[in-house]
Amino acid sequence: MTSGKKPAVLLEHYLKQLKLPTVLREYGKMAEICRTERADYQTFLLRLCEREVADREQRAAERRLKAAKFPVVKTLDTFDFKAQPSINQALMRELLRGEYIDKRENVLFVGNSGTGKTHLATALAFAACRRGNRVRFYTVTGLVTELLERREERQLKRFHRQLEKMHLVVLDELGYVPFSKAGAELLFEVVSRAYERTSLIVTTNLPFENWTEVLGNERLTGALLDRLTHRIHIIEANGESYRLKEAKRRLKRKTPPSLSAEK
């Protein structure tokens, strides 16, 4: 081995051991650049460290996004506020900054089907991921099914501990399917543990007075609402379904006027 090669082998060994993959990949190229630019040693080291940090942040962001398990990624860019004028756009934009997460506050989207609740909830959760928060998206029925399974496997405690590591949990679509007694109790436990610890975003088609219908128990519903709504931002969407409107528009374009089924 030539004398020039040995330090490189050792250096690469140390860089691997120190888990600095970007420095490992870039140090040769950067040394060249700094040599031609006559940059000093400190500048060389600084530039390498900057790249390592930037790459590390990028990798962490990708991991967070994957771990959040969004069904589809949606952002505010693709949301047409004019199509849903009932939505408080100013509040939505404020929430996008994510300070509610630092304050452990919750967000509730309430409105009919197709009014953009899931879209907006995902947009908030995606923004939270981007600002470095740990996020997990669930449909309420998906979460309850998982809770029942974990209980069956005697892994419920472990599951709660995992959930408690999150900064933000989305509970999408409360209200379409009523729960069993056990399901409602398990959901209550999640909301209860999240209180002042983890922010929740809930989307629902049900006004509060109807929550008992899906949760089945008046006392439990009261206790759940008490915790959930203690610090909450509510966004109401009471317009027409975006999906329905789009479908009608497509129909109108395709169907000759005489056949139009428009009422």
Of 205, 51, 223, which is closest to residue 214 (Cα–Cα)? 205
Shorter beta-carbon distance to ligand ADP: residue 51 or 245:
245
Shorter beta-carbon distance to ligand ADP: residue 36 or 78:
78
Q: Of 3-11, 47-55, 91-99, 109-117, which part binds ligand ADP (CB under 6 A)?
A: 109-117
**Token pair recorded at residue 233:** 């931002």
Q: Of 47-55, 62-70, 115-123, 176-184, which part binds ligand ADP (CB under 6 A)?
A: 115-123
Is the sign of the CA dihedral 90, 127, 107, 235 positive or negative? positive
Does position 74 interact with ligand ADP (CB under 6 A)? The reply is yes
Task: Round to whole Å and give the CA distance between 65 and 69.
Answer: 7
Torsion angle, alpha carbons of 188, 193, 195, 198, to 10:
-120
DSSP assignment of 143-168 equals HHHHHHHHHHTT-HHHHHHHHHT-SE
Does position 198 interact with Mg ion (CB under 5 A)? The reply is no
Q: Report how far apart, in Å, the C-alpha atoms of 97 and of each of 92, 102, 125, 137 are.
A: 9, 10, 11, 18
Q: Of 39-47, 48-56, 113-121, 220-228, which part binds ligand ADP (CB under 6 A)?
A: 113-121
Rg for the chain (alpha carbons), in Å?
25
User: Which does residue 175 touch among Mg ion, ligand ADP, none (CB within 5 to 8 A, set by kind)?
Assistant: none
Task: Round to whole Å and give the CA distance between 206 and 112.
Answer: 8
Does position 122 interact with Mg ion (CB under 5 A)? The reply is no
Which of the residues 231 through 250 are near ligand ADP (CB under 6 A)? 242-243
Binding-residue total with ligand ADP (CB under 6 A): 16
User: Which does residue 80 touch among Mg ion, ligand ADP, none (CB within 5 to 8 A, set by kind)?
Assistant: ligand ADP
User: Which does residue 44 touch among Mg ion, ligand ADP, none (CB within 5 to 8 A, set by kind)?
Assistant: none
Q: Which residues bind ligand ADP (CB under 6 A)?
A: 74, 78-80, 83-84, 113-119, 203, 242-243
Q: Which residues bind Mg ion (CB under 5 A)?
A: 118
